[in-house]
């Protein structure tokens, strides 16, 4: 099964793109700021270098996370740039949340059950990201399995 838990079926996870998230209201405000800055600069290098490395917004989200057409993502990510990674030296590019690590180890049957569990929750991107990052989604699934 080739599912990327970070971006699938209309869900976008930015859980690993920050920490100590404050509130959804603040996250939305900060991601909107990032998006405006991205649209103004229109250059990935300038966008990346407009702030110091590891500099997070007050909400806890990375300054490089944007929202376009309902999708939340990092425009510096290699999946957005023909496998070229503009995040180098600006992000922990090898980080993978505990949930995704375990998901990749599961057999296809268990992966499908987890996907069904996620879909049943009808999450928005914000709740999904926060619960993935905190491992609460994984914990709830494991308790019910």
- Cβ atoms of 100 and 6 within 8 Å: the answer is yes
Q: What per-residue confidence (pLDDT) applies to 24?
A: 94
Instruction: Tell me how long the chain is.
Output: 145
pLDDT value at 1 more than 70: no
Q: Judge whether 13 and 125 are in contact, CB under 8 Å.
A: yes
Give the up-direction half-sphere exposure of residue 64: CA atoms within 13 A in the CB hemisphere: 28
Host H or E run for residue 145: none
Is pLDDT above 80 for 54?
no
Find the Cα–Cα–Cα–Cα dihedral 77, 75, 15, 26, rounded to 10°.
160
Residue 82: pLDDT band with limits 50, 70, 90: very high
What is the Cβ-side half-sphere exposure of residue 66, based on CA atoms within 13 angstroms? 20
The pTM of the full predicted model, rounded to 2 decimals, is 0.87
Which sign, positive or negative, has the C-alpha torsion 19, 24, 30, 31? positive
Average pLDDT over residues 22-50: 95
Report yes or no: 46 and 74 within 8 Å, Cβ to Cβ. Answer: no
- The phi, psi pair for 64, rounded to 5°, reads -100, -5
Is the pLDDT reported for residue 53 higher than 80?
A: no
Q: Band of the pLDDT at 46, cuts 50, 70, 90?
A: very high
What pLDDT was estimated at residue 94?
A: 83
């Amino acid at each position: 099964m080739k599912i990327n838990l970070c971006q699938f079926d209309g869900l976008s996870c930015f859980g690993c793109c920050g920490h100590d998230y404050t509130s959804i209201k603040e996250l939305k405000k900060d991601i909107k700021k990032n998006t405006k800055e991205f649209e103004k600069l229109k250059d990935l290098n300038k966008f990346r270098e407009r702030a110091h490395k590891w500099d997070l917004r007050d909400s806890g989200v990375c300054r490089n996370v944007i929202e376009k057409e309902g999708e939340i993502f990092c425009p510096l990510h290699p999946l957005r740039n023909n496998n070229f990674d503009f995040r180098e030296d600006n992000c922990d590019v090898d980080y993978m949340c505990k949930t995704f690590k375990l998901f990749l180890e599961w057999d296809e049957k268990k992966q499908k059950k987890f996907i069904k569990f996620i879909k049943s929750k009808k999450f928005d991107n914000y709740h999904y990201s926060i619960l993935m990052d905190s491992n609460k989604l994984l914990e709830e699934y494991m308790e019910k399995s």
